Chain A
Amino acid sequence: MPLLKQGQLTDDHWVRVEDDADIADEVAAVVSLERWQADADLLKRRNAPVGVALANDQSPDEIADDLDAIGTVFLTFPVYTDGRAFSQARLLRQRYGYKGEIRATGNVLRDQYAFMQRCGFDAFEIADGSDLAGWGRSAQAVSHHYQTAADGVKAVWEKRHGQQAEI
C-alpha cells in the first residue's frame, strides 16, 4: 500500500510478519503484540529493527516500558468509524513520549488525516490512487485547534494568553 509520510509517498521498509512465520535476518519486522510478549528478548537482540502492531483493543500500556526498542507501532482503523486508534496513538505519543513511527493502517481516510496527525500518527497507509494534493489540503484545512493534543501545537487558548503547551 502507498505509504504517506511528511506529505510524500515513500518506500516502506517495514515487513509485517505473521505469528507463526520465521523472521529473516535483517528484515525490519513488525510483529503482533502476542508475539512481542512471547519473544521480546529475542526480537530485541536481532540485528534489525522491530515494530509492534497493536489491535485496536490492545492497550499501549502493554509496550510502554519497551518503547525505546520499538521502531514502529502499527495501529489500525478496521472501519473509519472505529476511532479507538486515535486514543492509542495519543497515549503513545503524548503520555509515553514515544519517538518512533506511529502508522495508521486499515480504512484510512483523507478527511481524518488532520485528526490523526494531531493524535501523533506520522505514517499513513493510504488507498491506491489517492489524490496527494487533496491530502495536503486536508492536512491544512484547520489552522486553529481548541484543545491540546499529542502534536505540541498551541491550542487557541494558549495563543490567546501566550502560554506554552505541556507535551
Chain B
Amino acid sequence: MYKYDDFDHAFVAERVEQFREQVARRLSGELTEDEFKPLRLMNGLYLQLHAYMLRVAIPYGLLSSTQMRKLAQIARTYDRGYGHFTTRQNIQYNWPRLEDTPDILEELASVEMHAIQTSGNCIRNVTADQYAGVDPEEIDDSRVWAELIRQWSSLHPEFSFLPRKFKIAVTGAPHDRTAVKFHDIGLIIKRSDAGEIGFEVLVGGGLGRTPMIGRTIREFLPKDYLLSYLEAILRVYNQLGRRDNKYKARIKILVHETGIEELRDMVEAEWTRMKEEGIDLPDAELARVRGFFTEPDYEDLPDNDQYLQVKQFENPTFGRWVRANVAPHKKPGYAVANISLKPVGGAPGDATAAQMDAVADLADRYSFGELRVAHEQNLVFADVKKADLYALWKELDDIQLGTPNLGMISDIISCPGLDYCSLANARSIPVAQRIQRRFADIKRQFDIGALTLNISGCINACGHHHAGHIGILGVDRKGEEYYQLTLGGSADENAAIGKIVGPAFSSAEIVDAVETVVETYLKVRNEGEPFIDTYRRLGQTPFKSALFEEKQHAAA
C-alpha cells in the first residue's frame, strides 16, 4: 500500500497545525460558527444530532493493521469505544469533542491518516474496488489511480469551493463493486485495442433526491491524461454548476439540464487546452505510485481445496461462510475473505474498538497486515491462504464477525438514520435489525440467495437505497416514521434505480412488507434465478399485487 514520503508527512502535519489554530480561534470566539463551519467540514467534522461527528478518510478503503489499531485506540480514547464504517469506505466516530479533534487528527497523522475533505463542497474520498489487486478478472489495480487522484485533489486551490460535494469512484474489473455509475465522476479502467490502459469516463451519476445513472462523456481516455481531463470536468462544473439551489447543485443536474453532448463539447474544449498546462504527471510519478501496489510475498501453493472441503463438510456454518463470504483470488491456493459487520441485531457497519483490534491482529496473521473496507460496510481480507480459512473463520466467529451473510438479505446496507443523523426523517438501524431478526434463519437466507437490501433514513440516500434490489426510504408522515419501498435497484455494472412500489408503510408494517416481497419472489422465481433477475423478468406487478391488492382482498 502507499507509504507517505516526507512531503506527505509534512502535508498532514501542517494540516493538523492549521486546524489546531482554527479550532483555537473558534473556541476563543474569534471565528464565528458561520466562518468556522466550512473549515471544520473540510476536516470531516460535522455537527450531528447528539454530538459532533468525525469522518476519517480511509483512502479507497485500504487499511494497514497499524492504522486499524489506531482507529481502535481513537475510538477508546476519544469516543465511546466503537466506530461506523460508511458507504464510501470511510469510518465515522459519533462522539468526539471539538476540543479533542486536533489531537485526534494528530494521532491519525502519526499513522498516515487524516480527515481531509471527507465533507464540504470539495472532492471527497475517492473509492475503489475492495478486491483490487486480487480479482482474477481485474484489468488494472484501481487503487493506483485512486491514490493519484487522492493526492491531486487534496487542497486543490481551484476546486475547494464547488457548488456541491464531488464524489469519484474507480473500478478496474468487469464486475463493478464500487457503484461507479452512481458517482459524479466514474472511471472504468479499460484496455484499448492496442493494449493501453485508459478509462471510460462517466459523469453525472448520483442518488439523493434525483437519482441518475452516469453518462459516458468519453469512451476512452488514455491514462496519461487522467488528471487534466478531471480538471477540465471540474472547471466546467465549478463555473456552470448551479449555486442557486442546494438540491440542484450536483453535476448530475448540469448533465441533465445541459445535455451530455454539449457538456462533452465544453469539457473537451477545455481539456484540449488543459493537457498542455503541466497538470498531468510524468511517467516517473505514475511508476512511483504504482510501485506501492505490488503483490505481497505469496507462497507458491497448490490449488488444492481438499482440506477446505473437508472442513466445510464437518462444519456447516463454516461451509455457509465459505459459500457466501469467500471469493476467488488470482493466486492458486489463496482466497478473498469477507468479514461481515452485519451480525443479527447489530448496527450495520459498526465495529467495537475490541473488534477493530482483533481484526488488526487477524490481518497480521492471515492477510499480510492489510485489509479493505467495502462500500457495503463490510471488511475484506484480500490475501488469505485457503488452508487458513477455517482457522480464520473460527477466530472471527468468536468475536461475532463470522456471520455468513455476504450479499444476502441480512447483509443490510444502512445509513445511521435518525438515531444519529440530524438530516434524517426516520430511524434506519432499528428497521435493519428487525428485518435481520425476521430473516435470522440462515438456511432461509441461503434459499433466498443474493439480495441487496439498502435503507436510508432520508432522501439524501446515504444508505444508497435507490441502488438496492430492495430499497427502503424513511419518511416523516404527519410526525410518524413511515417507510417507502423500492424494488429493482442495482449498484453494479448493470446499474439501475429502484422503483417505488406504492404507498409508504408504517414502522409496524415495513418488515411484513419486506417479507411479502421475499415470499412473492420465492413463489414466482425460476429455479436458480436470483431476485434481481426475477424482478427484471416480471417487473413490479407480482410484488405490487401481493403487497396491496391481496391485502385489500383479505380485508374486504
Contacts and interface: CB of A to CB of B under 8 A. Distances in A.
Given A149-B157, A157-B281, A167-B278, A144 B7 contact: yes
Contacts of A149: 157-158
Contacts of A57: 239
B157 A115 contact: yes
A6 interface: no
Contacts of B527: none
A82 B238 CA distance: 9
A59 to B, nearest CB: 8
Interface in A38-61: 57, 59
Interface residues of B, number: 42
Interface string B232-257: 00010011000100000000000000
A83 interface: yes
A94 B235 contact: no
Interface string B5-48: 10110110011011001100000000000010011000000000
Query: Which secondary structure dominates where chain B touches chain A?
Result: helix
Nearest to A164: B278
Contact of A147 (B18, B121, B152, B238): B152
B243 to A, nearest CB: 6
B151 A84 contact: no
Contact of B277 (A111, A138, A142, A166): A166
A160 B7 contact: yes
B39 A111 contact: yes
Contact of B21 (A83, A87, A137): A137
A104 interface: no
A148 B279 contact: yes
Nearest to A167: B278
B238 A83 contact: yes
B155 interface: yes
Nearest to B235: A87
A84 B239 CA distance: 5
A86 B281 contact: no
Contacts of A141: 14, 17-18
A112 interface: yes
B155 A86 contact: no
B17 A82 contact: no
Interface stretch (B282-290, B442-450, B495-503): B282-290
Interface string A102-140: 000000010110111011000000000000000001100
A82 B151 contact: no
Nearest to A142: B14
A156 B155 contact: no
A147 to B, nearest CB: 5
Contact of A81 (B121, B152, B153): B121
B39 to A, nearest CB: 6
B239 A161 contact: no
A95 B39 CA distance: 29
Contacts of A142: 11, 14-15, 18, 155
B156 interface: yes
A159 B157 contact: no
B158 A143 contact: no
B277 A94 contact: yes
B273 interface: yes
A144 B157 CA distance: 12
B154 interface: yes
Interface string A48-77: 000000000101000000000000000000
B158 A90 contact: yes
Contacts of B14: 141-144
Contacts of B39: 111
Interface of A: 57, 59, 80-84, 86-88, 90, 94-95, 109, 111-112, 114-116, 118-119, 137-138, 141-149, 156-157, 159-161, 163, 165-167
| In the A-B complex, the 7 residue pairs with the closest CB atoms | A83-B161, A166-B278, A118-B157, A115-B157, A141-B18, A157-B285, A146-B151
22 contacts: A82-B161, A83-B160, A86-B161, A86-B238, A87-B158, A95-B277, A115-B157, A115-B161, A141-B17, A141-B18, A143-B10, A144-B14, A147-B156, A147-B227, A147-B279, A149-B158, A160-B7, A160-B288, A161-B285, A166-B276, A166-B277, A166-B278
Given A80-B38, A112-B161, A146-B154, 14 more contacts: A82-B161, A86-B160, A87-B235, A87-B239, A115-B161, A118-B157, A141-B17, A142-B14, A145-B157, A147-B156, A149-B157, A160-B7, A166-B277, A167-B278
